[in-house]
Amino acid sequence: MKVSGFLGIGFVVLGVAACANIERSRNLNDPTVPAKVTAQNVCSNCHGVDGNSISPNFPNLAGQTEPYIVQQLKSFRQHSRSDPAGFEYMWGLSRHLTDEQINGLASYFASQKPIKQPAEAGEAQVSAGKTIFEGGVPEKNIPACHTCHGDRGQGNGQFPRLADQHADYLLKQLTVFQRTDERPEGAMMKVIVHDLTETNMRDVAAFLQGMPPQ
């Protein structure tokens, strides 16, 4: 292939690029890009195309409540949620999303089907977690999780779905609530988890990851 051949291919590629299909866009600063396109071409890289992420570094979004996703994306966009795992990835990605796109992303992921996660913990730990989820820790005045998050952990409005979430992610977020003010939208949780021990948090996270269908 001569130099002209290389350049020819270059021009063809440029021509094809000029006709780029917005249906496969990865542009995060274009309000005309449909939310579904962004979900599948950008969000999917970490959260999975169906909202079920492979790595526990990234939360599962499948079946998450729409109001919660909207609230979180707006918190990232305005930099009010500032836990490292959040801002390192999400501040930039959300910075120019429109409200309409955020609503669309929330709708997309809320409608995805959650995949059951493997129950990695032992029976005793899961049982201890179930006890906290369903009954709280009465001696410390810690209410039961299901009171707000639903009896199956399915979430309720701005109270997020917890069922089938990665235990590692849940544990880290409980720690963020307990030890920092990096999630002001969840200030209520700071009070609730204040007296939870790390073992309590590990137990309840383990239970929620492998939460059995009811």
Partner 1 sequence: MRSTPYRLLRQLRRLVPLMVGLASVFATFHINDAFALPAFARQTGQNCVSCHAGGQFPELTPYGRLFKLTGYTIGERAIPLSVMGVASYAKVSDTSKSDSPSTDFQKNGSPLFASGSLFIAGKVTNNIGVFSQITYDNYASQTVGPDGEPTGGFSGHSQADNVDIRYADRFIDGNRDLIVGVSFNNNPSISDVWNTAAAWMQYVPVPSPTSHQFIDGTAPYPGFGSGGNLAGITMYAYWNKMLYAELGTYRTANKALSFMSAGIGDADTTKLRGTNNPYWRFALTHEWGPHNIMVGTSGMVAHVYDGGSEISDPDNLGRFKNMGIDSQYQYILDPHTITVQAAYMRQKQEYSANTLAAAAPPYFLADGVTPVAPVNSSDTTNTLRLKLSYIYRAKYGGSVAFFNRTGTTNTLNQTSGFDSSGQITSTDPSETGITSTRVTGSLSGNPATRGWTYEAFWTPVQYARIGVQYTAYSKFNGATDNYDGFGRNARDNNTFFLYVWAVY
Site of interaction with partner 1 (CB under 8 A)? 1-3, 5-7, 9-10, 13-14, 16-18, 20, 22, 24-30, 40-42, 44-46, 49-50, 54-57, 84-85, 87-89, 91-93, 95-96, 168, 172
CA distance 61 to 49: 10
Q: Which is nearer to partner 1, 88 or 139 (CB)?
A: 88
Q: CB 48 → partner 1: shortest distance, Å?
A: 10
Q: Which is nearer to partner 1, 57 or 197 (CB)?
A: 57
Q: Which is nearer to partner 1, 37 or 145 (CB)?
A: 37
Q: Which is nearer to partner 1, 13 or 188 (CB)?
A: 13
Cα three-residue angle 132-190-81, rounded to 5 degrees:
120
Q: CB 19 → partner 1: shortest distance, Å?
A: 9
Q: Which is nearer to partner 1, 18 or 124 (CB)?
A: 18
Query: How many Å separate Cα 201 from the centre of its chain?
Result: 18
CA distance 92 to 94: 5
Q: CB 84 → partner 1: shortest distance, Å?
A: 8
Positive or negative torsion for Cα 114, 116, 120, 123: positive
End-to-end CA distance of the chain: 64
Q: CB 184 → partner 1: shortest distance, Å?
A: 17
Q: Is the distance from CB of 155 to CB of 64 less than 8 angstroms?
A: yes
Q: CB 76 → partner 1: shortest distance, Å?
A: 10
CA distance 143 to 198: 17
Selection from 50, 47, 21 nearest residue 34 by Cα: 21
